[in-house]
Amino acid sequence: MNKLMTAESLVATIQDGATIAISGNGGGMVEADYLLQALEKRFLETGHPRDLTLVHSLGIGDRDSKGTNRFAHAGMLKRVIAGHFTWSPRMQALIKSQQIEAWCFPSGVIQTLLREIGAGRPGLITHVGLGTFVDPRHGGGKSNARSTEDLVELIEIDGETKLRYRPFKVDYAILRGTYADLRGNISLEEEAVDLDCYSMALAAHNSGGKVFVQVRDILETGSITPRSVKIPGILVNGIVEYHDQPQTYLGGYDLTISGQHRRLCSQNSIELVSHPVRRLIARRAARELVAGASTNFGFGMPGGIPGIALREGVPFNTLWLSVEQGVHNGMMLDDALFGCARNADAIIPSLDQFDFYSGGGADITFLGMGEMDQQGNVNVSHLNGNLIGPGGFIEIAQNAHKVVFCGTFDARGSKINVTQDGLQIVQPGQVPKLVAQVEKITFSGAYARQRGQEVLYITERAVFRLTGEGVELTEIAPGIDIERDILPYMAFQPLIKQPRLMDSALFTPMEGHHEPN
């Protein structure tokens, strides 16, 4: 059977009402955008395929036109089931305006559910999501009023409450690799990450659907070494060759990112966060690093911690770092390229990485914080009425032994001077982040107390800790007065016992860094 196809002939076979799973991660990693562009073009020209269901685990797109933005047209999409949405403002707009149905689940849940679908098992049974917005008692992941179907339910096993995410049929998987041979065997060997390509292919094939793969090059049969094959040809129905396929939105292919090459990297290989308030938060958070610990860094504010650790003698090289995309150690990249690294020690499927986190494999994680409330709950998934999505946040935060949340005390318009003597609040932010009740629960303080997790909340003004009695204020920055600078801007009263000053060394200039005049 000849599996070689053009993009146009491939997308012409996709039927109205189909469920499509697509691979990808922010920054263009493993994103089959050449095929997605052809699919979008067909819809815009013909009005078909329409009423699609889109499934993806991680955020995909460029905040403009690529990735999941290709599906964000009225009539093209009926529903979306996904873990992250910020890379597609168009999709967020469709959801907010009630034009499509939408469910938001943890990224690892979606990946694992696809594996369970492929294996013919009765959905995914797990503790991940209990107490959060995906728990049926808190909304079941439904993301607007139009979304009414129950895709997750509470069940009891051995006297314990669990969640069962229900299976569904996958009609098509649209994936990407580096190489394919003429039998359809797929290698991702020069890609930045593997993600969940195999589980998506398995779910589509064993649902009676089809698997389409975009690759950079097609090789003769036998040219790919067996251990480099990530998707066996038996699962693959169609292959499209696209020679101009980039590894990421940076363009080209960097083999230090895919793991084939290593290059000498100095401590300056990870950029130092420049914003003084964010740098202060990262410096304080870096004090929580522990030599030898299995350590995870999340997207956003925590991205500044590795650069701090490298420069300040924190035991960076003794840590074992990992991110949800399956990358272990190396010089982690940030922002749009979060999820890949140069000189990594290992790159495994993100599905396997999520299993590691779900089972408690992370000793400590550093995560962002959109809102925090008096129960110790944290929200990063739904902010100001906008659906952001948790990505891998829930699997990691719910199961790490220690959780360090990092975020500014308030938002929008805050002006703060960071000096050697401490902080000076010039102007408070317009949006409080320490609220009476978070908009949605992405991290459950009650569940954390039940599990005995250690939880810190680090801001530039103060550090808080989750205790059995509630949220306690444990540290304040020099120059900060609790009655003047903290309590008036919080919507709840924290426990206050004997708070101490943050270490004054955190406010000294960093070697090699000069503050702007």
Active site residues: 324
Alpha helices in 52-106 (DSSP H): 89-96
Residue 41 host element (H or E): helix 33-46
C-alpha span between 157 and 163 (Å, rounded): 10
Say if residue 349 is preceded by a cis peptide, omega within 30 of 0: no
- Bridge partners, 454 (sequence order): 402
Q: Is 71 helix (H, G, I), strand (E, B) or coil?
A: helix
Q: Are strands 124-126 and 160-165 parallel, antiparallel or unpaired?
A: antiparallel
C-alpha dihedral (87, 88, 89, 95), degrees to nearest 10: -130
Asked whether 434 and 381 are in contact (CB, 8 A), the reply is no
Helix (H) or strand (E) holding 418: strand 415-419
| 485 CB-contact burial (10 Å; exposed 0-12 / middle 13-18 / buried 19+) | buried
Distance CA 231, CA 427 (A): 55
Task: For residue 435, give every residue at least 6 positions away whose Cβ sits within 8 Å of its Cβ, in sequence order, or none.
Answer: 371, 372, 373, 491, 492
Q: Of 191, 197, 173, 224, give the one whose Cα is nearest residue 19.
A: 173
Distance, in Å, from the CA atom of 36 to the CA atom of 274, rounded to the nearest integer, reads 36
